[in-house]
Amino acid sequence: MLFPLAINAQKSDEIFRAAGSPHNPKVQISFNRYYTSEGLAALGKKIADAHPNLVKRQSIGKSAFGKDIWMLAITNYKVGDADRKPGFYVDGNIHSNEIQGGEISIYTAWYLTENFGDNDYITKMLNDRVFYIVPTINPDARNNYMKEPNTGSSPRSGMIPLDDDRDGLFDEDGYDDLDGDGSITQMRRKSPNGTMIIDPTDPRKMIGVGPDDVVTAQRYEFLGSEGIDNDGDGRINEDTHGYYDPNRDWGWKWQPDYIQRGAYKYPFSLPENRAVADFVLKHPNIAGAQSFHNSGGMILRGPGAQEDLSTYNRQDIRIYDAIGKKGEKMIPGYRYLTVYKDLYSVFGGELDWFYGSRGVYTFTNEIFTPFAYYKDKNGGRNQTYDFDKDLLMNDAFTSWKTFNHPTYGEVEIGGFKKNFGRATPGFLLEEEAHRNMAFTFYHAYHMPNLSIPTIEEKKLSGGLKEITVSIQNDRLMPTHASQDLKYKITRPDYVSISGVNVIAGMHVLDDDFNVTEEQKTNPAKMRVANIPGNSIIKIRWIVKGNSKYTITVDSAKGGVVTKKSN
């Protein structure tokens, strides 16, 4: 009898650690593949179970078809109050086929937890900040894309059907996987009037011919994606996998479907987005956010539409620019762009809701660019065939084969599979995840970081004392974005003193010329509208009594800092 040998993880003395990688991971994950919604959930649970002092896992809601939307809250729970640390929100996969965000999110959670205690940068990050990571906010649609026949671009959105051709019927004539390979590829047919021939240098390719070209090779015509006339109306694929778009559903400058295709009934009518919004509203400590889409290699900021241009003022755009331009360096081939100006108009988008409604600095990264094929900025999509042959060993292409079509007769079916083009190839996926994660960390690093560097005392007559406190924010982001200040989204920051009898409290407007502004009501708890980035503000009190006192800075997005007198 033969018994299979047990296959165990490699021992530590069999491994030489590569720079930038975890020392000895408790959770082993392969980042050269994609995971279903259930797969992502299982990985999240493994990470949470392996690191109970760093991860709290919870469902923030249910999808349209009842799947849990899992979130990992990651911080050092032994240091400080997790709910009072500056929070950074991450999500991916709002669109079904834009799958890389799930793996990048899981990679981020894995990297944070596995490097804590070994890497000083990560350790300090988790001591000071909390990350809220939702790998997929659209679990139903993720599974549909992966498990059902689809193109690389379908279904793009949610799982509530949309009447694409507005005939009152839903998906009555969608794609059909005629060859049963799980991908919707292309159909072609031999035709004397066709405008395409097979490329003599590569039988996978079709090349065009002009009306005056002398052609002796077999001509072909393209018939579109795989499909048949399911509803007997004489058309094929005219109502193909249309679904409402979750990224047109957010409650900021929302527009109905007849103005912007894809919008559903009203803002937050889709349960997945509503679950995210409810979570964010309960966590005013969230100061930064990142959403992962695909594709094109872009780092995007709002506004989504020109009509919303005034929302983003110059002061906040400088912060966006600093982070976005750093991202271009960190992720080669990516471009930092503005949605409405460089792409198209989006109303009711996630980017604008996070910033416009919550005052949270937010980016969307469009994952993967053809630059990655040969690291050549002049390459692009024309290199897909070469890349498949040279580096994927022809794994991304379904070879042409004949099929007896009920309408067209004998056709040929073939083309690139749904997991190629928009989705990052496996051997490049971990690099993509790491670079985008590092950009996320840079963004999170520049959330407010408050400290009390100095406390100055000055004796006055009558047993009184003047106490001047400096509060420093040494990162790019203020405690309140301009949008936050404009609409008073988040409460003011508070700087308070305890242990003494406070006679007066004031903001120091100009220390050199001793210009101050008194707060006459409750001076022991000074209200501060904002602590700008890379700046110091000063608060002054006139007090009487005890020489021992405590200063506390309490900011919704900047955290809580205390310092005792000497």
User: Residue type for 524, please?
Assistant: A
SS3 511: coil
CA-based R_g, the chain, Å: 28
For 126, 333, 453, the CA distances from 366, given in Å and listed in that order, are: 26, 11, 40
Instruction: Provide the CB-side half-sphere exposure for 451 (13 A, CA).
Output: 8
Query: Please, are residues 494 and 479 in contact by the beta-carbon 8 Å criterion?
Result: no
Given 226, 350, 366, 412, which residue is catalytic?
366
For 416-475, give the secondary structure using H, E and C: ECCCCCCCCCHHHHHHHHHHHHHHHHHHHHCCCCEEEEEEEEEECHHHEEEEEEEEEECC
Whole-number Cα distances in Å, 302 to 108, 176, 314, 337, 530: 24, 37, 13, 9, 23
H helices of 206-338, in order, are 271-281, 314-330
Angle subtended at Cα 220 by Cα 215 and Cα 221, rounded to the nearest 5 degrees: 130
CB neighbourhood size of 498 (10 A): 13
* Per-residue buried b or exposed e for 499-535, using 16+ beta carbons within 10 Å of the residue's own CB: ebebbebbbbeeeeeeebeebeeebbbbebebbebee
366 is catalytic: yes
The partner residues of 208 in beta bridges, in order of sequence, read 196
Active-site annotation, residues: 366
